[in-house]
Structure 1
Amino acid sequence: MSKQAILITGANGGIGNATARYFLEHDDSCYVYLGVRSGRDAADALVGEFPERCQVLPLDVCKREAWERALEEVAQAGRVITVLVNNAGHHEDHLLATMPDEAWENVIGSNLNSAFLGSRAVIRGMMGERFGRIINISSLSALLAPAGQTNYSAAKAGMVAMTQSLAKEVARMGITANAICPGYIETAATDEGDAEAKRARKKAIPMRRFGQPREVAAAVFFLANKDAGYITGATLKIDGGIL
């Protein structure tokens, strides 16, 4: 019988890495694959701390072949992915009138297409186990779309709709699909801009602070738990009360 495992994409970034750490610190029985495409220092550091319970899995989330290779490596180790956290993604902000084709295609690819490819790749294994958790890291931009992010907002809103549809398709198989919409979280992205811009962003948040990656990780951990089995198709915002 295959051993169950967790796969977190974008595991070198702030939210992805914090989520992997949260699982490793709160569940001694879990095995975590850290999906990364490039820049793996933070992921490697986690492997150094938990060498027996996690490993880096090279994965270009935008390519079907890369998903197939990754899942083949997991299967060869006698494991099956029963928790998938689709966290990888990025933004390239432009006004729509001047947005290059590449900025649209790249952002849709890394955020939306990647979640589709990943979910499709793991779903059969989850069906075989009669258990699965797919957690898509969307964004508050999906619900409160700002100017200059037509590509990113469209991709993240697409993730929410995809999650809802998928949840209905797999509900009877012991598989849930949920989306999380983080607002301003203390990561490299929120460090962009000058101090005045940062103060303005915090002022727009009722809690008057940015969220911590660990606070998002805690929500992912809960949704991945067996006790969250009656929650599916949900969209959870983590934004300090903005919306």
Structure 2
Amino acid sequence: MPREHVSRKFENDLQTLRNKILSLGEMVANAIAQACISLETWEEGPALATIEGDQQINSLEVDIDESCLTMIALYQPAATDLRFITTAMKIITTLERIGDLAGNISRYALDLIAAMENSIDLTPQLSMAVKVQELLQNSLRAFINWDAELALQTARRDQAIDRIYQDSLWEAVKRMQGRDLQSMHNIMRTFMISKFLERIGDHAVHICEMVVFMVKGRIIRHQKATLDYLDEEFH
């Protein structure tokens, strides 16, 4: 096969890969949004839709993974192309895990709805959900646009999510004092929803770290260097 034709086919496959990853990201973001709609409206439908749609996320994740392996075997990419494909393989795994967490949020939402606990204040959780969705969307935008600066800026915003999470922990502890067992279970469900959202934020930060590796060839996870230090170094 002529080299020019191979190159053109490779570029087309790369674009198809990008589109599939964007579709997976949109599915996962929609799963989070639907789970949170149930928390806000106390309606079962959106949460059930999230749970039922998890298999589609899993199937697309497997499809993308197989596409990446095929491209590596067929084209033997190097340098930035190889970093893009290997990063894509890690990101889709992370997105699949985020989808699982959205399913967990939905299940706890259904438990609260079944318990008729619509008097519980879920304002902190809904606030976290908004920030988490923005974090995820920006991390994916950084990936598609090869934008290491956006990745670093996005990762820094996770601190606000962590603060709300810590506050929700102490609030849950205070509210459980003197409550009956069923009330304590429901309070713990609200806290676990916060925990799942916090984990989604962590996964979005992980995507940002992978973007920095893809663009700069620098592995920054598990390092003590601050984001400010990295910001200065990359500029």
Q: Same fold (TM over 0.5)?
A: no
Q: Which has the higher contact order (CA 8 A, sep 6+)?
A: 2
Which of the two has greater strand per residue? 1
Q: Max radius of gyration: which structure? A: 2
TM (norm. structure 2) is 0.30
Which of the two has greater helix per residue? 2
TM (norm. structure 1) is 0.30
